[in-house]
Amino acid sequence: MTPEIAEASYKELLDPSTGLQRKAELDIEGLRTVLALRSEYGQPRKTLTDPLKYYDPSYYRKATAP
């Protein structure tokens, strides 16, 4: 990677409107979508429905508490 590409990548990653966010909370509905896609297309086939079985938001809340 050239220094120019590295700098452009760094700027894009840290752009507040499109890049990584400091307090990036997982979106439960997004997790539902991921599980639905995995259920439909994944091998071996499994029915995955409850995102809270795989994600515990209490850790996020504790980590971001003042």
Chain segment 15-53, per-residue pLDDT in tens = 888 888 777 888 899 999 999 999 999 999 999 999 999
Mention every residue, 6+ apart, whose C-beta is less than 8 A from residue 5.
none
Tokens of 31: 């997790």
pTM over 0.75: no
Encode pLDDT of 8-23 as tens digits. Answer: 999 998 888 888 877 7
Q: Which two tokens stand for residue 61?
A: 């809340």
pLDDT at 18 (0 to 100) = 81
